[in-house]
Amino acid sequence: MQIHDSLQHPETDPRLSELTLLYQFSNTMLSTIRLNKLLHLTLTAITTPSSNLFERAILFLRNEKSNVLQGMLAITRQLSEGLQIVGGQDALGSRWDISEEVISRQRSAEFCLQVRLTRIEIDTDCPLIHRIISERNIYHHDNNICHKCPTCHFIRPLCGGSFAAAPLVARETTIGMIVVDNPDSAREISSNNLHFLQLFANQAGMAIENSMLYSRIEDAHLNLKDARERLLHGERLAAIGEMAANLAHELKNPLITIGGFAGRLLKSLPGDTREHGYADTIVSEVSRLEKMLAEILAFSRKPTICFRRCDLEDIIQNCLASCVATFEDHNIRVSFSSDAYPLAVSGDSHQLNQVFLNLILNACDAMPEGGELSLTLQKTSPDKKTVTVTVEDTGGGIPQDMLPQIFNPFFTTKHHGTGLGLAIVNRIILNHFGSIEAGNTGQGAVFTITLPLAE
Ligand SMILES: Nc1ncnc2c1ncn2[C@@H]1O[C@H](COP(=O)(O)OP(=O)(O)OP(=O)(O)O)[C@@H](O)[C@H]1O
Ligand SMILES: [Mg+2]
């Protein structure tokens, strides 16, 4: 590998040097599949000093969903040094490369950042856009920028007197545009340069389209892998759940017998004996196990939801009221803020009550020495029609490696926990067409619930 200082053209004929550039670009395309790198290589090649083509280049890609040309990258001549030529014995067999350091320098340049914030509407009467999008043809500006259209509002402050724009075309559609100009020398763009730009943009269009397709395939592959893992995980959890439910069912009857006899024993033994203490322990442990088995059986039963319009603020206030004694015992300060709107959701108030109760009790468990519990309730955004509730504590948070597991049934770090609290919460929220996320604030844990607002 050698650092570029000229594009290795022994010839001085500009035509030959442009041809070599096109050759090298086509070799580069074959070996560069990452979109980001390809965009940097594309613009660096046409602005690099030794190619002597343009002093500045801007690249836009078409966003199909919002129907705009979106600013992706801009490179000025000052930042176009650093193109490396690798492989091949001669210029025609070689290709370009660029280091991550140069890429990040180019990306963080002021001009580039400005361009990246730019969106150009496609549905306009602008002749430039019409030529690029509909005619798929090169546009050469000759000082007739209009004063009305938003395209020119963008172009006017950025590009100097003379500039050219070329469509990036793939499969007979414009997928983007390259704009070039010479702001340092104010040199006019020659017809030869325009011709080269057209050829270059044709190649770049195909390369960029391939690279985007590759990214899409890669994303689809990752999603598929993710879905497969979730399916396997779900199957495993279902098997564990079924086993636990069967076990709980089998254990319930003998446990009732043990509890009954232990209770009788307790009554018949004098209160101040050691045996009375043993029987007392058996009774309280049996009742804890019974509670746990009841929870497991409730979890394994298919839930029925009774959908009604209910006010989330009322539900949260009721939950907080029922936990006042716990807050006082644990020295926990509580704050609750809510948007002024009536925030009604369609759901089962009893189950939603269970959700907040579980989260609040978990927060209390995390703050045995006291702390702060804050709840907020607000509309996520007016058009999204959802409401967001956060439950935040100052109990030190959840270790990062545990976060993916806390919603799994039976995952617990507590001595007396069943690990079903958050699994139940998650299921209730999903049944209400909402979502829940857990995270850390630095001081403690934060749970964020999003639910659709009632019509
Ligand atoms: N606010 C929190 N702060 C820190 N850790 C938490 C918090 N909430 C949950 N966790 C962690 O997640 C685990 C699972 O919580 P979950 O409510 O499902 O079960 P549990 O509280 O252990 O038992 P239970 O079934 O009695 O609720 C907890 O054991 C704890 O480690
Ligand atoms: Mg819990």
Binding site membership of 421 for ligand 1 (Cβ less than 6 Å)? yes
Q: How far apart are the first and last CA of the chain?
A: 64
Tell me, what's the pLDDT at 85?
82
How far is residue 156 from each of residues 53, 328, 438, measured CA to CA in Å?
A: 21, 66, 47
pLDDT in tens, 322-346: 889 889 989 999 999 988 667 889 9
Amino acid (one-letter) located at 339: D
DSSP class of 87: S
Please tell me the residue having the least CA distance from ligand 1 atom 28: 412
- 425: its two tokens: 């919460």
Tens digit of pLDDT for each residue in 215-233?
Answer: 889 889 999 998 888 888 7
- Superfamily for 308-452? Histidine kinase-like ATPase, C-terminal domain (3.30.565.10)
For residue 305, what are the CA distances in angstroms to 246, 293, 422, 430? 24, 22, 18, 12
369: its two tokens:
């020495």
- Which of 111, 91, 124, 100 is closest to 25 using CA atoms? 91
Q: Which ligand is nearest to the CA of 409?
A: 1
The proportion of the chain whose per-residue pLDDT surpasses 70, expressed as a percent, equals: 91
Is the shortest distance between the CB of 393 and ligand 1 below 6 Å? yes
**CATH architecture for residues 230-300:** Orthogonal Bundle (1.10)
Nearest CA to ligand 1 atom 26: 417
Could you tell me the distance, in angstroms and rounded to a whole number, from the CA of residue 12 to the centre of ligand 2?
A: 76
Domain locations in the chain as residue ranges: 2-219, 230-300, 308-452
Report pLDDT digits (tens) over 364-378: 999 999 999 999 998
Question: What is the 8-class DSSP label of residue 453?
Answer: B
Mean pLDDT of the residues in the chain:
86
Nearest CA to ligand 1 atom 13: 412
Considering only CA atoms, which residue is closest to atom 7 of ligand 1?
362
Largest CA distance in the chain: 112
Identify the residue whose C-alpha is closest to ligand 1 atom 8. 362
Q: Is 362 in the pocket of ligand 1 (CB under 6 A)?
A: yes
- Note the pLDDT of residue 364: 94
Q: Which uninterrupted H or E stretch holds 346?
A: strand 344-347
Phi, psi of 2 (to 5 degrees): -135, 150
**Higher-pLDDT residue of 303, 110:** 110
Give the span between the Cα atoms of 223 and 211, in whole angstroms: 18
For residue 379, pLDDT beyond 50: yes
CATH number of 2-219: 3.30.450.40
Over its C-alpha atoms, the chain yields an Rg (Å, rounded) of 33
Residue 38's Cβ-count burial label (10 Å; 0-12, 13-18, 19+) is buried
From the CA of 423, give the closest atom in ligand 1.
18
Q: Whose CA is nearest to atom 31 of ligand 1?
A: 413
CA pair distance 395, 272, nearest whole angstrom: 40
pLDDT of residue 162: 78
Asked if residues 87 and 54 have their Cβ atoms less than 8 Å apart, the reply is no
Residue 372: predicted pLDDT: 97
Which of 250, 281, 285 lies closest to 265, judged by CA?
A: 281
DSSP secondary structure, 188-226, as one string? PPPHHHHHHHHHHHHHHHHHHHHHHHHHHHHHHHHHHHH
What is the pLDDT, as a whole number, of residue 189? 87
The whole-number pLDDT of residue 235 equals: 82
With a cut of 80, say whether residue 115 has pLDDT above it: yes
Distance between CA atoms of residues 129 and 118, nearest Å? 15
The average pLDDT across 343-362 equals 91
What is the pLDDT, as a whole number, of residue 429? Answer: 94
Reduce the DSSP state of residue 445 to 3 states and report it. strand
3-state class of 138 per DSSP? coil
Cα(425)–Cα(48) distance, integer angstroms: 58
Q: Are 65 and 82 in contact (CB under 8 A)?
A: no
Mean pLDDT of 51-62: 92
Mean of pLDDT values over 1-28: 65
What's 147's DSSP letter?
A: S
DSSP characters over 14-82:
HHHHHHHHHHHHHHHHHH---HHHHHHHHHHHHHSGGG-S-SEEEEEEEETTTTEEEEEEEEEGGG---
CA distance 131 to 148: 18
How far is the C-alpha of 415 from the C-alpha of 292, rounded, in Å? Answer: 13
For the ranges 134-138, 236-240, 364-368, the one whose mean pLDDT is highest: 364-368
Q: Which atom of ligand 1 is nearest to the CA of 424?
A: 18
Q: Which two tokens stand for residue 230?
A: 């979730």
pLDDT in tens, 186-199: 888 888 889 989 99
Q: Which ligand is nearest to the CA of 398?
A: 1
Residue 379: beta bridge partners? 387
Distances (CA, A) of 259 to 157, 251, 254, 268, 271: 84, 12, 9, 14, 18
pLDDT at 186: 84
Residue 62 to residue 65: CA distance in whole angstroms: 9
- Which of 12-26, 120-134, 224-238, 252-266 is least confident? 12-26
How much is the pLDDT for 146? 66
Residue with the larger pLDDT of the pair 361 and 26: 361
Cα distance between residue 134 and residue 436, in whole Å: 45
What is the model's pLDDT at position 226? 86
130 within 8 A of 147, measured Cβ to Cβ: no
- 345 vs 15 pLDDT, higher one: 345
Q: Is the pLDDT of residue 87 over 70?
A: yes
| Whether the predicted pLDDT of 154 surpasses 80 | no
Least confident window among 49-58, 96-105, 301-310, 413-422: 301-310
302 or 244: whose pLDDT is higher? 244
- Tell me the CA–centroid distance for residue 66 and ligand 2, in Å: 44
Distance CA 343, CA 325 (A): 27
102 lines ligand 1 (CB under 6 A): no
